Structure 1
Amino acid sequence: MSTTYASTLHGRFARSPSRAQRLARLDRLATLLDTAFVIPFTKIRFGVDGLFGLAPVVGDVVTTGLALYIVYEAHKLGAPRHVLARMIGNVALDGLIGAVPVAGDVFDVIWRANKRNVRILREHLDREAQKGR
């Protein structure tokens, strides 16, 4: 794998994160958004997506923006259009249904669009790596 460099604010050069590091960061973000917390005495997991969704409009806009960041990173990692379209579909469904009061919050807990999108991206990258062997 070749070494890549990115300019920093101070004009110095630093290594850009590897693909594995970027995927790990996306996975942590998806976990925070979708499954970071558990309701005590149950197996029900939820994330800040469900919590922010309780704030009408603003919460949904913020979490949709974070979900779109995952799609943007997938694009930067070289995901093809059909993978990106599937990921955007998940974000759109999450954003539209998530905007419905109460039912949308329950849907956010069940659907977990961000975890789905990171899984879709990982599966695509794994298939590509298998082809390259």
Structure 2
Amino acid sequence: MRRLQPDLPLGSDPAAVRRRVEALERVMERAFAVPGLGRKVGLDAVVGLVPVAGDVVTAAIGLYLVWEARNLGMSKWQLARMTANVGIDTAVGAIPVAGDLFDFVFRSNSRNLRMIRRHLDKHHPHTRIIEG
């Protein structure tokens, strides 16, 4: 059986962290194309449809990104903003129906990935990946 993607690195070096958080964000926010919607959705929106448990699981995964950011040495202010993004996504996502619609618009993992990328580009420029 052919593998679709190479194994994700397990190291703690910035390049390995970049690959892991980018892969996680892709799965959580834009893994599936929904016909007629014109927008990709991920497991965050799908799992969030399950009351309570779905929100807890997606919050835990979102906090994993914050943990990786902490390990990269990001500032407390940045970590607080990232935690707030996860908190807002979780709190509003817990509201039936409205929260599910909110998950399509407010993508906390994508916001947090942008912050991590900015940090990596500034402090670890050798990890930057040029995409064609």
Q: Do the two structures share a fold, i.e. TM-score over 0.5?
A: yes
Partner of 1:86: 81
Give matches, 1:1-133, under 5 Å.
16-129=11-124
Structure 1 stretches of 4+ with a deviation exceeding 3 A read none
Number of aligned residue pairs: give it. 116
Instruction: Using the aligned pairs only, state the percent identity.
Output: 42
Q: Out of 35-44 and 114-123, give the one that drifted further.
A: 35-44
Contact 2:34 2:40 (C-alpha < 8 Å) held by counterparts = yes
**Pair member with larger Rg:** 1
* Cα distance between partner residues in 1 of 2:18 and 2:101: 27
8 Å CA contact 1:71, 1:88 repeated in 2: yes
**TM-score, scaled relative to structure 1:** 0.81
1:12-49: per-residue Cα shift (whole Å, max 9, x none)?
xxx83431121111111111111111111442211111
CA distance in 2, matches of 1:27, 1:16: 15
Amino acid at match of 1:106: L
Q: CA deviation at 1:82?
A: 0.9
